[in-house]
Amino acid sequence: MPTKIARNRKRPSVASEEFLFEDDFFRRLLDNLYDGVYFVDTQRRILFWNLGAERLSGYKAAEVVGRFCHDNILNHVDESECSLCKNGCPLTYSITEGQPIAQRVFLRHKDGRRIAVDVQVMPLRNEEDEIIGGVEIFRDASSSVALETAYGRIREVAEKDPLTGVANRRYLDGVLDSQVKLFKRTGIPFSLIMVDIDHFKQVNDTWGHLTGDKALIAFSGRLQEVCRRSDILGRWGGEEFLIILPEQRLHEAVATAERLQTTVAESAAPEELGDRKLTGSFGVTKAILGDTNTSILGRVDDALYRAKLLGRNRVETTR
């Protein structure tokens, strides 16, 4: 509900008669709120600045009242570090469109610190329902940001292979389950590629596990270069990798696998391997009616086995 401010005919205005409080009770009420609150007119001139705003920003009311938001007092930026005070200001949107808006922004404290705040902005209307400014309420979101960051890190650890940085098997299982269910419900196609580094045991046995780790990192890096952003590449286990290709039919997945096979074979291997090249065997399959996670994985594994049986460094399919 847009906020309406009545005139106070008993005492002078802070900056404009339109923005007066009916009595000091409302001013005291706002000053006792934990959140920061400030009012602006249609030119974004600051007319009121409560004690919560002083506490969160470090600026006293006397330092900001009468100045404009676009003076960049708080230097609001979004999560991408784009300035909002001159372009994309929530207050400007609310005043211009007559609509409330909520947004996560970052303000600059007087001491130079960046502080995350959640803002809610509403247009201010007079008794004739005309927009005469806006009110912004903002609260410290630092704890929320810290929790979100920590959760993101935990999730990243839980979903990524620590050596190669690609998805781990647990994450792949979840994505595959979602794709199978989506296929059953909508018929939207998807395919799988399973790839195994050729003769990887010889690498470990001859040059050691440290070199083997470097080979795994290099190999997964080559795969990432070819995969689309929408493809899900992960380490299935040991030297095996699984790629889930949403919305790709079998012939498209085969073409992708062939590009992967060529890219890997032509790429430089870790220098410890000397002239030896890293190659891979690729199995490809598509989702079919009645598939389960187990059945489609079984088919792609069969295709991979056939590629290794027929000489390795090749692509084979199972329909």
Is 225 assigned a catalytic role? no
3-state helix, strand, coil in the chain (%, to 5): 40, 25, 35
- Measured CA to CA, the distance from residue 76 to residue 66 in angstroms comes to 18
Taking alpha carbons only, the member of 302, 289, 292 closest to residue 176 is: 292
CB 179 within 8 A of CB 187: no
List all residues 6 or more positions away from 241 whose beta carbon is below 8 Å from its beta carbon.
Answer: 166, 194, 195, 196, 219, 220, 223, 233, 234, 235
Beta strand 114-125 pairing with 190-197? unpaired
Query: Residue 192: what residue type?
Result: L
The residue annotated as part of the active site, out of 54, 136, 239, 316, is 239
CB 284 within 8 A of CB 253: yes
Q: Is 220 exposed, middle or buried (0-12, 13-18, 19+ CB in 10 A)?
A: buried
Count of C-beta atoms within a 10 Å radius of residue 29: 12
Helix (H, G, I), strand (E, B) or coil at 41: strand
Half-sphere exposure of 60 (CA within 13 A, CB side): 2
In DSSP terms, 160 is beta-bridged to: 167
In DSSP terms, 195 is beta-bridged to: 241, 282
Catalytic residues: 239
